[in-house]
Amino acid sequence: MERDQRRLIINYAGPEGVYRRISLGSVLEGAVLPDAVRHKIVVVGVTAQGAGDRLFTPLSSGIGMSGIEIHANVARTLLDRAFLIPMGLPAEMAGCVLIAAACVLGIAGLRGVRLLLLLAVVGAAVPAASALALSGGRIWPMGSFLAVFLVAGGVAGMGEYAAVTIALRQSERKRRDYAFRVQAIAHEIKTPLTAIQGSSELISDGTVSDGERAAVAGLIYKESKRLTGILHAFLDVERMASGSLAIEKKPVSLHAVCDEVLERARLYSARKRIRIEAEVDDTSVPADAELLSFAVYNLLTNAVKYSPKDTVIRLGMSEDARSVSVWVADHGYGIAPSEQERIFDRFYRMRRDDKGDEEGSGVGLALVREIVTQHGGRILVDSQPGAGSRFTIVLPKV
Ligand code: ADP
């Protein structure tokens, strides 16, 4: 041990009663038998508190130690070879890393009370372990360990704060999203509901003639169907987003799907005298026919809604070894690059169209993207403001 050339650290923490005190008076009175001191080292000196021969040791804690006790400690440490041995730099580093790792793992894996509990345990273990080590003659660097613990604990606190803040923001965003949805549903439902109310009032107060009654009833029927459609669309978005709408993929004839959709879309586009040109090969693709036709119909009706009158829309397809693509191209108002990602968000409408004549809820494209994603495919948009847009659905062949 001496070869280490390290400092000699005296252990002043001798347990109580290590040094037996025998007063000079009792020796002079002959009350001490020779056996009491035989084979023992006797240190003679003054131990009285006010004697002035007192010094502080690292463990004195405010009460000085008498000079002879200090000498006794020095002698005992040397003779027993009970020097205090410092932990050493490598072990100190390892200890710091261990404490930091415990805190980091705690931050990563635990939250709230559990994290606090872990930090409390580590915080209490550092001084406890140091005290235990000291009683075994080892000096542990409690200062370094506590510093590492405090830094790691601080980081843990900040991490916890950040996690709570993020969770709070997320829940706030969800709440706003929900409120927005409720508003959007209310807004969407309001129009057909007003039409139904107005028309039924006309019938009930006898304002309409017998001849007109059938037409008004037809309007009520149409609007109530629209209402159902809106509700279905909303429910489908929710169910699809939560993953509870199962997709049934079967080989579907793309030609047949597009034919059926075109028929409906042409009725819709007639009001703006928009022509839809289509060229679709008879390719089969594994898909849910109903959802696929919903997606293509949505792209076509959007193209109609966001194009000026008397323009042309084209519906086409292409395929390669692994995928089939269906695209809808229009010569409409187009979409600015900054908006091209956002139009797929639920309830997102471009400001231009929110104020325009075309009714909408901002749900359609979110639904289309959800459908395409559930099929393992993707949707692309290529658009230039003022020049038109092209939406492409890419579906895998298997
Ligand atoms: P909605 O049509 O009900 O508003 P969508 O989700 O279908 O909702 O579309 C979101 C927004 O994207 C629309 O409000 C519109 O601003 C824009 N958009 C969609 N399709 C086109 C298109 N073909 N041309 C220009 N803008 C479009």
Span from the CA of 292 to the centroid of ligand 1 (angstroms): 18
Distance (angstroms) between ligand 1 centre and the Cα of 277 equals: 20
Cα of first residue to Cα of last residue in the chain, in angstroms, is 75
Protein residue with least CA distance to atom 21, ligand 1: 302
**Dihedral sign from CA coordinates of 83, 60, 149, 135:** positive
Q: Looking at residue 358, what is its pLDDT?
A: 84
Q: Compute, in angstroms, the gap from residue 153 CA to the centroid of ligand 1.
A: 50
**Tokens 């005298």 -> residue:** 273
Residue 346 beta carbon below 6 angstroms from any ligand 1 atom: no
Q: Say which residues have a Cβ less than 8 Å from residue 5's Cβ, sequence separation at least 6.
A: none
- Residue 216 one-letter amino acid: V
Output the CA angle 319-323-326, nearest 5 degrees: 60
**335 ligand 1 Cβ < 6 A:** yes
Q: 364: Cβ below 6 Å to ligand 1?
A: yes
Encoded amino acid at 79, one letter: L
Report angle CA 249, 255, 257 to the nearest 5 degrees.
50
* SS3 readout for 239-267: HHHCCCCCCCCEEEEHHHHHHHHHHHHHH
Can you list the positions of beta strands (E) in the chain? 54-55, 65-66, 85-86, 138-139, 250-253, 275-279, 284-287, 312-319, 323-329, 378-384, 388-396
User: What pLDDT score was predicted for residue 1?
Assistant: 46
The whole-number pLDDT of residue 237 equals: 65
pLDDT for 240 equals 65
Nearest to 383 by CA among 347, 332, 345: 332
How confident is the model at residue 285, as a pLDDT? 96
Exposure class string for 80-107: b at 16+ Cβ within 10 A, else e: eeebbbebeeeebeebbeebeebbeebb
| pLDDT tens sequence across 32-52 | 888 888 888 888 888 777 777
Tell me if 303 CB under 6 Å of ligand 1: yes
Residues 6+ apart with CB under 8 A from 23: none
Contact 153, 103 (CB under 8 A): yes
CA 376 to ligand 1 centroid distance, Å: 23
**Of 19, 36, 142, the residue nearest 87 (C-alpha):** 142
Q: Which residues of the chain have pLDDT under 50?
A: 1
3-state class (DSSP) for residue 127: helix
